[in-house]
Amino acid sequence: MSDAAKESGGRGPSHRGVEIGVAAFMALLALIGIYGSLKVGIGWGAEGPKAGFFPFYVNLAVIIACAVNLAKVLASADEGELFAGWDQLKLVLAVVIPTAIYSLTRHLCRLNDSDRGLHEVVGALSLDLRDWCRRARAVPDVPDVRVVVSRPPAEGAA
């Protein structure tokens, strides 16, 4: 058992399980890409390849890579190797979840860099969510991170 596993009490998802999960998830994304490519056409038109030609073959390569990785994992013996401890994963999720919420909010509100006021509101909301998680003990002992958003200088200002 690795030092990281000993520190986290040896509990968490197995390396084998994560490999299988990632291979299956990537294969699913590639299948969605192949479906989209087939909808727009993968053939060769009078002007050259159709819009789905290259994405089809890229996604086909991803599916082949996933199948090779999955076969390799399933053919090997399960040694019970730990991928990461739950405490370590909580620290990762403390960054990933607020970032995902922030990105989703920016997308749903159709924010771009010129929308500074809304950008600051979204940043404040993500910090409030982080504080709420800390109070709920969902995220243990994570250092504070402050986001400073500055406005660009007005045009013509020197």
Does residue 114 surpass a pLDDT of 70? no
State pTM to two decimals.
0.59
Local confidence band at 18 (pLDDT 50, 70, 90 cut-offs) = very high
The whole-number pLDDT of residue 78 equals 83
Taking CA atoms, 17 is separated from 11, 12, 14, 98, in Å, by 13, 10, 5, 25
pLDDT in tens, 53-111: 999 999 999 999 999 999 999 999 888 889 889 999 999 999 999 999 988 887 777 66
Confidence of residue 1 (pLDDT cuts 50, 70, 90): very low
DSSP one-letter string for 106-130: HHHTT--TT-HHHHHHHHHHHHHHH
Mean pLDDT throughout 139-144? 52
Q: Would you say 14 and 80 are in contact if contact means Cβ atoms under 8 Å apart?
A: yes
The confidence score (pLDDT) of residue 8 equals 46
Give, in degrees to the nearest 5, the angle at Cα 30 between 26 and 36.
150
